[in-house]
Structures are given as structure tokens and as C-alpha cells.
Chain A
Amino acid sequence: MLIRLLLAAWLCVIAAPGEAADVQNDQPTADAAKPGKKAKAKDQSKPNDPAKPKKQKKPKSNVPAPDELIDPDGPIDPNLVEQGDGGGGWRFSWKQHPSVRYGSVFRLDGQAKFQEDARSTYEGAVDVPGWELHRNRIGISGHLFKKVEYEVERELTEKELTDKDILAGVTPASHWKDVNVNLTFVKNAQVQVGKFKVPFGLDQLTGVTRNDFIFRSLGANYLAPARDIGAMVHGRFFKHGLNYWAGVFQHDGDNARSKKIQGGDQTFAARVTGMPFRKIASGSIAAIEVGSSFAISALSDDSFRPNGLRGRTVVSQDTFAEPVYVKGRRRRWEADADWAAGPFAARTEYTWVSDDRNGQGLGDENLPDARARSWYVAGVWVVTAEDKMRPLRPAADFLQGGWGAVEVVARMERLWYDSVGPAGVAFRNPRAETILPTGDRVVTVGANWILNRFTKLQVNVIREHLEDSDRNPVTNGGALWSRIVRLQFVL
């Protein structure tokens, strides 16, 4: 309750006319090292589209929103850093973020992200709170000597384990999110070390506060690895024409783990994105960016519980795909395309995962690989005619001469699980030779109202249809309908 009151007070403060438009471009350059955020950065650096309608609105200022990136390829501009008081020495400023600086040598910015959800789903759903403080994160970021960028982010409301959980041997989720340093001595071969996102998947690598939807696609949430501890080299060439990331990680990401799932072990992952049509086409075609990712992980059966991937519904978190027993290698492959032109944008992504099942049969025999696949197609239209970017910047902020920006969004997706090989008699048990196919087909429609650079209101209506009626929590195999409203503050 206290947090909600603080958030409400915060909203009042930031909604009031003030100096927000005067905020300096003082974004932490550590953000730029994130592979996913790099993918977003091209949104703001796309070549001008000649077909763009003349009437399109332009933002009042070129000041980025709180979680917006500056050009990651660009050098840290000491003039920009020094702007304001000018000169060296310690100083404190609070414009975009509270920031402590020492000349151009050191910088530390404070950050915060809050997301409050109101949710409703099907009748009888268990453990679905009507209200939830979905994210409550604080962090710091900055740089040392302009060549060493750092970032630390912590979730404040991660659920604690119960005594029963601990007795059952479940492990807690980490409160720490991004904790890393990025060394930029060589621009085309930057080195990032620490905890950050494994470079895999367009949707997963898109920052959650910038996403067009309240929830990422199911494939991004359950097949892509997400964060882990590791080291990565990354860079880009041809002015964003070709970007790469390649790294090794301790495990295969938070998404592959849960309280009861151990997850994969040592992981190698690589991702490449590019704009292949930029040189051979013009107009909106040139803006298409394509990407592909690959990851391979070791899989053990050290845990007595199944170590495969799981699938759950979007809001109610009902498990429609239980993990199966796996051992050997996990291979992930992904391909995506991202396009934006004027107020329109579209994305699509296909993900494929297969897990070895060496010695996992009831008679200890090898089983055919377990397989999971997903795809989605998503589209956005900015009704208020701003250029589509992530995050979207209103031409005129709410209560500052305008109504903010409004966009409507829609996404179709599917996530499904089965096993490879010839179809035999299929079973649901986690050591079945032929895994009974199960999946979730989801349609999401919604609208986003960006009041100003700090505040966003999102509304999503989600329809899910589970393909295996036996795992459908709604009787008679009906569809699951959910409605979510999210209020987001980003500092």
C-alpha cells in the first residue's frame, strides 16, 4: 500500500508541468551494451523514410525517455556529460535520473522501474491477484573513464520461499537482475562481463519497459534463455548494418530455471542482426532488420526433478506443458524480423528448441529429443501519428499541451511442445517416448497510452486456447480470456 501511495504521489509530481522537457541526454551508456537494447537502438537511428507522410508529428525535443538509448556506437560525449555546471569536480544533478558525477571521469545514475498491474482472468483461477506490483526495480549505472560502463539492477519484490519450498529443495530466484561491466576499448569488439541477457531472441532482448505489450510472447518467456552470468564480446559494423554478439554463460538463463527446474548448464550463444535491404532497396523495405540466434547448452539429470522446459499460460500461469526428463545437449535456434515505418511497426519471430533425452526412458534407454517451438506476429499503429520507436515518445506530453501518444497493438502467437521422430502412441508423462503434443495459441490486442517520458498506461485483452483439453483449466475446453491494465513509471 505504501508503495502504491508513493507511486501515486510520483505520478502527480511528474504529470505536473515542469522541467522534464529540459532533461539532458544523460542516459547510462551501460544500457547500450545490452544486445537487446541495441536492437532497439536502430529504431531511433533508422534512415529517413522518403515515404513518410508530411503531417507526422515530431517530438518537441530530442531528449530521450528514461529508458531510451543513445546511439550505442557513438562515443560518450564528454561535452554532454559536462553540460550544466561544466568543469570537473564532484557534482550532483537530478534531471532525467539522480546522478553523481566527477568531471567526465566518473558517473553514477540512479534508476527505478515500477509496474502496477490490475488483472482479471477466468473464473476459478488460482493465485491470480487482482492487483500486483509486477516490477519494483531500482538500479544504478554509469561509467568510469568513459571506457568502463557498469550497471546494477535489483528487484525489490521477488517472492520469498516458504518453509515448505525450502524443505522440498527448491531454490530461490535471484533478486539481482543486470549486474555487469562493459569494456568499450575496442568499439567493434566490446567485452561485457557479469550478469546480463544471453543474446538470444528479439522479444526477450527488448527491454520490458519498452515492449509494445504488457507481457512478452510465450516463446520469449519460456524458450529464450534471458539473463545469466557470463562473458560476451559484441560489436557492430557498417553503421548498424551488421551487429553481432557471442558469449559463454554459466547456465542457460533464468527462463530455463524455476523453483523446481534446475535448468541447463554451460551455454554458448551467438546472435547476428542486420539490415540486408538497406543497400539494395529504398523506402520502408530498407528498414527491415533481420536477426538470428543460436545457443547450445549442456543438460544434466543431476536433479531428481525433470529438467526440461515448461509452458504456462500468460496470466494465470497454469502449466500446460510440464517439463520432461532430459540429458545431453539443449539446442536453440531463432530467426526474427523487425520493421518500422512512420507510425507503423511489425515484428515476427520463430524459435525452435530441442533437448536430448539420453538414458531417460523407463528402462534407462535413450528417448527421441524433446522439442519446443514458438512463433508470433505482432503489429503496432501509432494512432497519434508519431514515428514508431521503442520507447514511443509523445509529440506533446499529457497535461503539457497535449494528450501524450496512443498506439494500438495486436499479436498472434503459438507455443507448443512435442518430441521429434516417428509418431508413436503419445503420452503426457515426463518419460514418454512420444510426448503428447501440447500448446497454447494466443491472441493479444491492446492499446498503450504514453502520457510522458515517465508514465505509460497499457491495456491488453488476451485470448488463449490450450491445444490439449486435458490441461485446460477451463471446463469444456473453452478459451481463457484475460484482461490486464498496467501503469508503468520509469525513472
Chain B
Amino acid sequence: MLLNRARAFILVLAVAALLPRAVVSQTPAVDPSDALFDDTVLHDINLTINDRDLASLHVNFLSNEYYPVNFAWRGMSLQGVGIRSRGTGSRSGVKPGLRIDFDRYATEQRFLGLKSVIFRNQTQDPSHLRERLSMLFFRRMGMKAEREAHARLFFKNSYAGLYSIVESVDKVFLKKNFGEDTSNLYEFAFDNSVGHVPFVFKYLGSDANLYVPVPFKPETKENDTQPQFIERLIWTIDQAGDASWRQTIAEFLDLPKFIRHLAIESFLAEEDGLTGDYGPNNFYFYRYEGKSLFQFIPWDKSNTFWEAPSPNYFILRNVEDGPVDHRNRLVQRALKYPDLWTLYLDTLEECANSASAGATTGANPQPGWLAAEIQREYLQIRDAALADTLIFTNAEFEKAIADLKVFAAGRSDAVKAQVAAYRARGPLP
């Protein structure tokens, strides 16, 4: 009897092994939200909102008060959605940036599987394109980054301006990109008050509350913030001895991945990122479940393409120059290692090649990928942007686009030239 059962079990295993696994594994998971972030079209989104709420949204734009709306897109409608004003430097009473929470009033409510999205008002970017281009470039370079598309926003069918729809970094994003969503996610909450000393990953002491909730603001598990992991990470970054640093930091960070993130920002001339002019800024931080390992996630790339039309943004800005107390300690220590230094330069070169891919010269010159993408997106949003003069004039918009094109045309060569110069010099002293 037992033998027969064993034979039957083995037979079942054998049959299972012969099943067409390839068929199963090749079936892509359909993400319904892809349609909302389809960047081949300009979306139209209509919010039905009480008149008093709409007025309040503009007047009380510094408040995080939520207002209920009905959300409509492509004939689909969702009732009971919460919106609020958002942003730090981009907060505006003229053209409020918006956070749209589909689950604000019903925990399980989703729209196309999403809990929330951001409507970025682009008050700091007359071109409207910097952030979308940047996130697309991150993904093009194989990094996890938010999906984006542009949309015309309407309040009660009245045009309210051109916005970019930005994927929220939340549990849905974590699950989609990292396969898990159960651990701690933090937003780096930059303190931009006058006279502040930026947090540059310098060790502040053994009290974990010095790091959480400021500057690391819990976005998940608010009642179980696990700040001790952050404290250990910062201690390791800043205090661990040189002899053991690489080995110790490996428990907390995938350094090659971090260096890749850094290099992409640098190529994009990001003035307000990991090595920003005001100290490190604009990233989320996720700790993997059951581990000490953290993951950087890029956020808010409105200040990329800095100094455009000039393509010469320094690849070691705020690393070798800038105020000393604004320099990122993690970057400072990592780029002392020859292998990481080389990886940084290699990645910059890879970025340059990727951005200029497809470019040809001669009688019928073709633009590289980045320049072509700028042109494609420009044509997509042009009419909507020209109709939206809440923040920028049409002339400012057109000039900003022209500047981006000049930047894109010259950035790859400029970066390659800087990389060549610094290869010869070697890592940070």
C-alpha cells in the first residue's frame, strides 16, 4: 500500500515536471495602471469638487487638508477620492501640486490597482519635462524609478493646467518593483528652513530618534519605525573604520547599485539630489524585510538638467567642490575606493552612450535618444503647456524646451570629456 502511494507521488512529480513551465512563466503580469502611465498619449483627468473646497485648495495651499472629489479618466469614474495640496518648494496657491489618495476614505479602494498618485505642478520647471525625462532615463538605465506621464487636469470640466502624473512610492510601488512591501519605507524629509545644517549622513549619536522621523520620515509601519537600523547604517557610513568599511557597509547597502544611482543623477545634472547643492535630498529609503539592507529610490527630479543649456554640469559637484558641510559622507567615502570610483566613471560613460544612442551625423543627422525623447514629449504637451500660463509664460516654456535640446545635444560629449580627465587622476583622495 505504502509503496503504491510512493509510486503515485513520484508519478505526479514527474508529470508536474513535464508541464510547460515556460508557458506559465512567460505570461507577463498585466498591470492595469500601465494605462494611466502610458506616456504615448496626453491624458485628460477631471475632478469634480465642491466650489468651496476648490477655493480652499488654492487659499490654504500650505495645509495638508484633504478634500473629497470624484475622479474621472477615460470614461472611468471613482467616487470618494481624497486630494490635498502637496510639495515643499513647489507648493503653490496659484497652481497647487496635488496628492490624489484613492484610499483616503476607504482603505481598500484602489484605482487601477493604485492607492495614490501625485499630480506634479512643475512650478520649478518651465519645460514641464525634466522630471519625466529623468525618471524615464533611470528606468532606461535599469533602475527602479517612478512611472510618469502628462495630463491635462480639469476641475469640473474647467482646465486647471498641465500636470505630470507621478507614480507614488508606496506599498504598491514596493511590491511591483521589489517584490515585497512589508518592511519600513522612509521619505528623506529635507529640512529647508533658513540656517539649517543639512543632514549629510553624518553620525549624530546613538539615539535612534535623531534619525527617525526626521530626516527619515516613516511612510509605512508608522507604529513600528525600526529607527535602530537607520542609526546603525549612519554609524557605519560615518564612523566605521576604513579597514572594515566595505565589509561593514555591505550589510546595509548595495554599494554598486548606489553608485549607479549617483552616476545617473550626475549625468542628468541633478542639483537637488544625493549630492545636491543644499545637501542630500530627494530620495526614498526602503529596508528589505528581515534584513538590514536598504534601497535608495529616486524622487522629485525637477531640478535636473541644471544650468541648461550648458551641458557642462560638473560630475563631481558637491563632491569635490561646494561647501564642505553639504558633502554627502557616503559619497565621500565610497568614491575613495578604486573599484567604486571606476564604476562611477563607467556608469557616467554608459549614461552618455545611452543618451546619445541613435545619433548620427552627416548629411541627414539624427538626434540621440535623449534629444529625440525631448522632441517627442514636447510635441505631446505643447498645446496644453501653452494653454497653461499660471506659472510660466509661453516664451519661458519655449525657451526652456530649447535649452533642454541644447543640453541634450552636448551632454554626452561633455560628460565623456570629464570622465576621461578624471580617469587619469584616480579616486578621491
CB closest chain-A residue, reference B56: A304
Interface residue ranges of B46-64 to A (CB < 8 Å): 48-53, 56, 59-60, 62-64
CB closest chain-A residue, reference B68: A429
Say yes or no for B223: interface residue by CB 8 A criterion.
Answer: yes
Contact B48 A363 (CB under 8 A): yes
Contact B69 A167 (CB under 8 A): no
Known: A427-B80, A470-B106, A470-B107. A364 touches B56 (CB 8 A): no
Cβ contacts under 8 Å, B62 to chain A: 167
Contact A126 B223 (CB under 8 A): yes
Cβ contacts under 8 Å, A169 to chain B: 60, 63
Contact A168 B63 (CB under 8 A): yes
**Most interface-central of A301, A305, A362, A364 (chain B CB within 10 A):** A362
Say yes or no for B82: interface residue by CB 8 A criterion.
Answer: yes
CB closest chain-A residue, reference B104: A429
Cβ contacts under 8 Å, A305 to chain B: 65
Contact B51 A427 (CB under 8 A): no
The number of residues on chain A lying at the interface, defined by a beta carbon within 8 Å of a beta carbon of chain B, is 22
CB closest chain-A residue, reference B222: A126
- Per the bound structure, the CA–CA distance linking A428 and B50 in Å amounts to 16
Say yes or no for A124: interface residue by CB 8 A criterion.
Answer: yes
Say yes or no for A394: interface residue by CB 8 A criterion.
Answer: no
Say yes or no for B124: interface residue by CB 8 A criterion.
Answer: no
Closest beta carbon of chain A to B239's beta carbon, Å:
32
Closest beta carbon of chain B to A276's beta carbon, Å:
46
Say yes or no for B9: interface residue by CB 8 A criterion.
Answer: no
Cβ contacts under 8 Å, A360 to chain B: 50
CB closest chain-B residue, reference A301: B52
Say yes or no for A432: interface residue by CB 8 A criterion.
Answer: yes
Contact B52 A362 (CB under 8 A): no
Closest beta carbon of chain B to A370's beta carbon, Å:
14
Cβ contacts under 8 Å, A124 to chain B: 223-224
**Most interface-central of A167, A429, A430, A470 (chain B CB within 10 A):** A429
Cβ contacts under 8 Å, A126 to chain B: 223
Contact A304 B59 (CB under 8 A): yes
Closest beta carbon of chain B to A486's beta carbon, Å:
26
- Per the bound structure, the CA–CA distance linking A425 and B107 in Å amounts to 17
Cβ contacts under 8 Å, B52 to chain A: 301, 304
Known: A427-B106, A470-B107, A470-B108. A432 touches B80 (CB 8 A): yes
Say yes or no for B342: interface residue by CB 8 A criterion.
Answer: no
- Encoded as 1 (CB less than 8 Å from any B CB) or 0, chain A from 165 to 202 comes to 00111000000000000000000000000000000000
Say yes or no for A333: interface residue by CB 8 A criterion.
Answer: no
CB closest chain-B residue, reference A322: B105
Cβ contacts under 8 Å, A429 to chain B: 68, 79-82, 104-105
Contact among A425, A431, A470 with B68 in the assembled complex (CB-CB below 8 Å)? A431
- Per the bound structure, the CA–CA distance linking A430 and B59 in Å amounts to 20
Interface residue ranges of B33-85 to A (CB < 8 Å): 48-53, 56, 59-60, 62-65, 68-70, 79-82
Say yes or no for A361: interface residue by CB 8 A criterion.
Answer: yes
Interface residue ranges of B137-184 to A (CB < 8 Å): 156
Closest beta carbon of chain B to A365's beta carbon, Å:
9
Cβ contacts under 8 Å, A431 to chain B: 50, 53, 68
Cβ contacts under 8 Å, A428 to chain B: 80, 105-106
Contact A362 B50 (CB under 8 A): yes
- Per the bound structure, the CA–CA distance linking A126 and B224 in Å amounts to 11
- Encoded as 1 (CB less than 8 Å from any B CB) or 0, chain A from 453 to 471 comes to 0000000000000000010
CB closest chain-A residue, reference B108: A470
Say yes or no for A244: interface residue by CB 8 A criterion.
Answer: no
CB closest chain-A residue, reference B52: A301
Say yes or no for A150: interface residue by CB 8 A criterion.
Answer: no
Closest beta carbon of chain B to A283's beta carbon, Å:
53
Say yes or no for A325: interface residue by CB 8 A criterion.
Answer: yes
Contact A362 B48 (CB under 8 A): yes
Closest beta carbon of chain B to A420's beta carbon, Å:
19
Cβ contacts under 8 Å, B82 to chain A: 429
**Most interface-central of B50, B51, B53 (chain A CB within 10 A):** B50
- Per the bound structure, the CA–CA distance linking A230 and B84 in Å amounts to 37
Closest beta carbon of chain A to B412's beta carbon, Å:
45
CB closest chain-A residue, reference B48: A362
Cβ contacts under 8 Å, A325 to chain B: 50
Contact A362 B106 (CB under 8 A): no
CB closest chain-B residue, reference A327: B52
Contact A304 B79 (CB under 8 A): no
Closest beta carbon of chain A to B85's beta carbon, Å:
11
Interface residue ranges of B313-367 to A (CB < 8 Å): none
- Encoded as 1 (CB less than 8 Å from any A CB) or 0, chain B from 92 to 114 comes to 00000000000011111000000
- Per the bound structure, the CA–CA distance linking A26 and B46 in Å amounts to 69
Contact A362 B60 (CB under 8 A): no
Contact among B56, B105, B107, B223 with A427 in the assembled complex (CB-CB below 8 Å)? B105
CB closest chain-A residue, reference B47: A362
Cβ contacts under 8 Å, A304 to chain B: 52-53, 56, 59-60, 63, 65
Contact A361 B50 (CB under 8 A): yes
Closest beta carbon of chain A to B226's beta carbon, Å:
14
Contact B223 A430 (CB under 8 A): no
Closest beta carbon of chain A to B410's beta carbon, Å:
44
- Per the bound structure, the CA–CA distance linking A305 and B79 in Å amounts to 19
Cβ contacts under 8 Å, A361 to chain B: 50
Closest beta carbon of chain A to B50's beta carbon, Å:
6
- Encoded as 1 (CB less than 8 Å from any A CB) or 0, chain B from 107 to 134 comes to 1100000000000000000000000000
Cβ contacts under 8 Å, A363 to chain B: 48, 50, 156
Q: Which 3 A-B pairs have the closest CB atoms?
A: A304-B56, A429-B68, A428-B105
Instruction: Enumerate 23 A-B pairs (CB-CB under 8 Å) in ascending A order.
Output: A126-B223, A167-B62, A168-B63, A168-B64, A304-B52, A304-B56, A304-B60, A304-B65, A325-B50, A362-B48, A362-B49, A362-B68, A363-B48, A364-B50, A427-B79, A427-B105, A429-B81, A429-B104, A429-B105, A430-B68, A431-B68, A432-B105, A470-B108
Q: Given A168-B63, A427-B105, list of 15 further CB < 8 A pairs?
A: A167-B62, A168-B64, A169-B60, A301-B52, A304-B53, A362-B48, A362-B69, A363-B48, A364-B51, A425-B79, A429-B68, A429-B80, A430-B68, A431-B68, A470-B108
